[in-house]
Structure 1
C-alpha cells in the first residue's frame, strides 16, 4: 500500500493541474430584470476554440434532467470571450424582453422560449463539450428556493432568508479561477468562485481577467526542483514544513472534487509552514509555485 499510494497521489495531482487553463468555462452570469439574461464563456487557452462541439443547458427549478439546451457555434479567440444573451426583444411578450443595450452585446443569441437563457436564480446552468460537463453554475437537482445565497446555515439555499446571489445579480468569475466545475458539488457556495454585482450590470461583458493570462504559474513541472514535505500524512491542527531548493512563491491546495481550498501558510523563501487547522480529513493536491512561476506537484494527506 505504501508503494502504491504515492503513485496514485501523483496521478491525482497531475490530473487536477492539467485542467487549469486548458478548457472553456463560464466567466460571467447576468440574471437581471425581465429577460435581461446573459452568460459569458471564456477561453483561457493560447489557441482558438471551435464551439461546434459545445452546448449550454438549463436545469430548471431543481430538475435532475435537462430542461432546455442550446448548441453553440462560432470560434472563441485565445483569451477571448463569447457572449450569449436572451433574444426576446418583443416588449409585449408575457415573459418580458431584453434591453437593446444587452442584446447588442451578444456574439450569439439564444432561441426564443424555451431556451437556457430564460434562466432564473434557481436554475442550474451547465456548459458541455460533446455531452460532458466542462463547467457548472449552481447544483443540478437542488431547488434552492428563489436563489442560491451566502447563507452557510441553509447550505447556501434561501431557506433561512440569506442574501440572494444568483437572482437579480450579475456574477463575475474570480480571476484566480482557471478551470470549470466538472462534477455536481455537494454544496454550491457562489461566493467561493464568483464576485457579485448589482442587478442589470453588464459593463464587464466582452472581456475577462484571469490568472491564466497574467503571468500565473505554468502547468509544466520543474524537474530540477526538489523539496521535503513533513510530516505527511498528518492530522488537523498540525504544522507541515516545506523545505525547497528553490524560492517558494505560493501554494495552491485542491480537494478531491477539484475545488480550491483556502490554505493558511507562512513563507520564508526556501522554507514554508503550512497550517492544517482548517482542513478536513482527506487527500489534497498541493501545488508548489516557485518564484519563476514554475511548479511542483505534491499532496497532503489529512488523517
Structure 2
C-alpha cells in the first residue's frame, strides 16, 4: 500500500474515478490520482533491487506547471528516508509549452537535463524511468523515456541524468511528490508499473524468435571474382536475449551493408531489423549450395537456402610482369618500369587500377594516372612509376578487370626518400628556460623519414644528479621536418599553444642536464645531451650572454646530430651549436630551420638602431653575408624566406614601429631574426595631459614649464606649468 513519508495528512493526494489512456499501454485496474501542490508525499515499496536495472512506467497528464519547474516522481530505497534517485521534473515556458527534465539526485533545476519545450498541457504522455546499477562508487545512472514504442526491444532513451551522487544501496520504492506552489506542477497520474527489465515491464510472454522474410536468388560468379550480383533477404530479432550469429556456407559471403565487410560469419544485435546481403566468391569452377544458419540463445535456429555456381573465365590474361622495387626522391617520380598486356576473349574494356602512390601510362609520358581504360583488343606495354609525396616504404597493387574474367593482380612496392643531407637521428632543437614556469624543450626530426617516438625517452638530471630525476616516455610518430614540443604544465599560453605534452622533465633550471635517449634508463643510448650529466655548474653553463639560465636557446640550422657522449667537462657545444635569445622569447618554438651543409646568414643590421625619435626617420638594412636577400616586417610578425617585404631601399618610419628582418640565399640559410623598436612619443602640451597618460607609453612635453625644485639624488627635477 501507499505510505506518506513527508507532510503526512497535509493536502493528501486524491484518488479520482476513471483512467488515463494511451494506445498499447497495458490495461489499468483501479482509478487515477491527482497531484496538487504543498501537500503530503507518498511512496509504495516493492522487492528491493540491487543490481542491473529497475524500470517504472506511468501515464501522466500535466494540468498546470511553472516556469521554474519541480520534480513529481522518483525512485527510492525500500526504506525510503531522504535518498531520492531518478527525479522526474516538468516546467513550462511563456507559451505554456512543456519540457520534461531528469536528475539522478539533484533537486535544483540547474542540475537537471531537459527536453525541448515540445509537450503540451492536458495531454497524456507515457514516461518510463530507469535506474541502472554499476559497480564502484557514485556511478549509478538514471534515464527517462518519453512516449517510447511499446515493443519487445528496448528503444533509445530520451534523457540521461548527468549529475552524480551517492549510489543507492537498493531501489525498492516509487514515490510521488507534491512540491511548493511556487514551483510544482498539478497533474493526473495513472498506471504505474515497476519491473526489472524492459520486456517484463509490459507483461510480454517470452517467445524469442528469429524471423526471416524471403530468400536470396541464385548467384553466379567468374572464378576468382566475387559475383557481380548481390542478393538479400530480411532478418528480424523478436524478444531475443542475445545477438544473432549468422553463418554462410563456403564460398558464400554475407554482409549487413552490401558494399563491404563481407564475411562467412557475422553477428548482429538481438533487435536487428534489416537486410542481410549475400554474394558468391568461388575460387573453383562448380556448383554450390547450402543453408545460411541463424542462431541466438533460447531461440530456434532458422535456416535460409542459398545456391550458386562458379563459372570458368571466358577471358585469358597474357601478362608478363617482372617489376622490381621502385625508388624515388620526394618531388621527383621514380624511373618507370613496364609489363606487357593482352587478353584473349575480352569483349569489354580492360580497366587497370593502381593503388597510390603508383601511377600508370601507356606512353611512358604524361598523362600519368591511377586508372587506365583500354580497349579489349589492347596488346602492348603498360608503364608504371611511383610518385609519393611523403617519405617511407610503400606497397600496392595493380588490378586488371574486364567482363567474364578473373581479376589479375600485380603486387608492387617501393621506397621514397627526401633528397639532401639528413640528421643522423632526432635531436633537441630548442631549450626555453624562461621566467617562472615558462620552460619547454623541442625535439626535431630531420632524418628524412617518419620516426616512431615510442623508441625514445627524455630524462632530466637535476642539480648534478647521475640518475634521472624525472623521465618521459615519448609516443606517436614524428614526421620529417617536424618538431615535438614538451612543456611545463604551468607554462604560459604562448608555450601551451604549440606544446604536444606537459611533463616534469621540464622542471629544470639553468644548471640541470637533459638527455634524449633510446633504450632504458638503466642502459641508455644517448641520442642528445644538453649540459653535462653529473655536473652542477652552479647557476648555469656558459659565458654571458650565451648561458643556460633565463634564456631561449635555439639549435643552429646546420646541426645534424645530437651530443651522444656525455662531455668530460662543462657544455662545450653550447658556443658552437646554439643561438641565444632573451628570456621569454617564444617566437621559435614549434618549428625549426634545418639547412645542413649551409651556413646561416648573419643577422641583418639596422641603421639607425632602435630608440626614441621626435621626427620621421629613414632606416637602412644591411647584412655582412654577401649577396643575400633581406626580408622585413613592420607588423610584429616573423619574416621568413616567403613572408615579409623584400628590402630594396631605405624604409621611412614615422610612427612607433617594431622592425624585424632576416637574411637568406646565395648559399646561406635563414639568419636569426634581427629586431629594433622605433618609438615616436605622443606630443602633449600640458602637464595635466602628461599626468593623464598611460603608463608604458612615451610622451613628449611641448609646452612651457619652469623648474621649481631640483636635487642631486637621481637628478630629480620638479617642473610646473600654468595648469
Give 2:576's aligned residue. 192
Q: Decide whether the 8 Å contact of 2:453 with 2:476 is kept in 1.
A: yes
2-side partners of 1:41 and 1:47: how far apart?
15
Q: 1:118 aligns with which of 507, 510, 513?
A: 507
Give 1:180's aligned residue. 562
- Give, in angstroms, the shift of residue 180 of structure 1: 0.5
2-side partners of 1:148 and 1:214: how far apart?
28
1:34 equivalenced with 2:427 (yes/no): no
1:135 equivalenced with 2:528 (yes/no): yes
- Give, in angstroms, the shift of residue 149 of structure 1: 1.7
Q: Decide whether the 8 Å contact of 2:442 with 2:485 is kept in 1.
A: yes
For residues 1-303 of structure 1, what are the structure 2 equivalents within 5 Å? Answer: 21-88=423-490, 98-110=491-503, 115-131=504-520, 132-150=525-543, 163=545, 165-187=547-569, 188-189=571-572, 190-212=574-596
- Give, in angstroms, the shift of residue 183 of structure 1: 0.6
1-side partners of 2:595 and 2:568: how far apart?
26
Q: 1:32 to 1:196 in 2, by over 3 A?
A: same
Give 2:38's aligned residue. none
Q: Decide whether the 8 Å contact of 2:429 with 2:444 is kept in 1.
A: yes
SS at match of 2:575: helix
- Give, in angstroms, the shift of residue 186 of structure 1: 2.0
- Give, in angstroms, the shift of residue 213 of structure 1: 8.8
Give 1:155's aligned residue. none
2-side partners of 1:105 and 1:78: how far apart?
17
Q: When the two structures are aligned, how many residues end up with a matched partner?
A: 175
1-side partners of 2:495 and 2:529: how far apart?
23
2-side partners of 1:81 and 1:213: how far apart?
20
- Give, in angstroms, the shift of residue 211 of structure 1: 2.5
Higher helix residue share: 1
2-side partners of 1:46 and 1:28: how far apart?
20
* Bigger-Rg structure (1/2): 2
Deviations along 1:12-64, one digit per CA (max 9) or x if unpaired, are: xxxxxxx9612100000000011100000000111111111111011101111
Q: Decide whether the 8 Å contact of 2:515 with 2:530 is kept in 1.
A: yes
Q: Decide whether the 8 Å contact of 2:442 with 2:484 is kept in 1.
A: yes
SS at match of 2:432: strand
Deviations along 1:145-187, one digit per CA (max 9) or x if unpaired, are: 000022xxxxxxxxxxx55611100100011210000111123
- Give, in angstroms, the shift of residue 194 of structure 1: 0.6
Q: 1:164 to 1:107 in 2, by over 3 A?
A: same
- Give, in angstroms, the shift of residue 130 of structure 1: 1.9
2-side partners of 1:104 and 1:42: how far apart?
18
Aligned alpha-carbon RMSD (Å): 2.3
1-side partners of 2:453 and 2:506: how far apart?
17
1-side partners of 2:501 and 2:596: how far apart?
25
Runs (4+) of structure 1 exceeding 6 A deviation are none
Structure with bigger RCO (C-alpha 8 Å, 6+ apart): 1
Q: Decide whether the 8 Å contact of 1:147 with 1:164 is kept in 2.
A: no
Q: Decide whether the 8 Å contact of 1:20 with 1:179 is kept in 2.
A: no
Q: Decide whether the 8 Å contact of 1:121 with 1:167 is kept in 2.
A: yes
Q: Decide whether the 8 Å contact of 2:433 with 2:583 is kept in 1.
A: yes
Deviations along 1:114-165, one digit per CA (max 9) or x if unpaired, are: x211111000000011231100000011110000022xxxxxxxxxxx5561
